[in-house]
Amino acid sequence: MDEGFDHHVHIGQWRDRYFSAKEVFSNLQQQGKVGCNFMSTTSCGPLHPDNKKEIISLYEKVRDEVKNALLTAKELHIDAKAYYWVVPLFHFSGITFDQVLTEVPEYCGLKIHPRSHNWNPEIPERAELLTQTFDYAATHNHPIILHTGISEDDSPCLYEKWYKDFPTVKVTLAHCRNLKEVTYLFDKYSQLYGDTAFIPQENLEYLLQNGYEKRLVYGSDYPINKS
């Protein structure tokens, strides 16, 4: 597990703090990192589902933030790879994946956060968007980072249908929770991986001691893990 590249970091607004790309990337370099996958937590800004202008405004804010972050990465000579945080309300308001890729062609992966954005697959429009998201990832060879947790709404098993239907899409189960579900999925789907961001120490030790080391990548959740 190479710790020189951080597979899970953030820029943007997080609660009452704003983490600029320059601050985040510079601090990573000071920690000895040569690169990172980054996502914008500004994507989690509050939205009213009936206010299309507000929704589009947030999409544009995140888009411009990521583009500026990529320029900052070039200036700092750090290998920063941008992941598009998929916000359902963006797409329900008319944003398409083709538009996203056209406006930020440097995007090389996708982020799904069930708890932040209600990805309940029992809701038909959510299930359809999940299919669109995985299809987009498969078509463009983009990996997905999927937030996992211990509650029912962010269980990694909720999305097993899509792992089965899209076997070429690499999915990283961020945080590796819960452990029983993660190991079940690792054993069944070879395209699934996990990261170490906020992983419980006992979970990490179990995975390393039971043959799952090659399924793990280093991720810190920086700077959320420091805030």
Q: What is the pLDDT along the chain (227 residues), one digit of tens a residue?
A: 788 999 999 999 999 999 999 999 999 999 999 999 999 999 999 999 999 999 999 999 999 999 999 999 999 999 999 999 999 999 999 999 999 999 999 999 999 999 999 999 999 999 999 999 999 999 999 999 999 998 888 999 999 999 999 999 999 999 999 999 999 999 999 999 999 999 999 999 999 999 999 999 999 999 998 76
CA 14/CA 116 separation, integer angstroms? 12
Claim: this prediction has a pTM higher than 0.95: yes
Strand positions, DSSP E, 17-121: 17-19, 35-40, 79-85, 109-112
41, 44, 46: which is closest to 10 by C-alpha? 41
Quick count: other Cβ atoms within 10 Å of Cβ 192?
A: 19
C-alpha distances (whole Å) from 6 to each of 3, 195, 225 are 7, 10, 13
CA 29/CA 72 separation, integer angstroms? 13
What are the beta bridge partners of residue 11? 40
151, 153, 92: which is closest to 119 by C-alpha? 153
Chain segment 94-128, per-residue pLDDT in tens: 999 999 999 999 999 999 999 999 999 999 999 99
Chain segment 51-64, per-residue pLDDT in tens: 999 999 999 999 99
The structure tokens listed for 224 are 């959320």
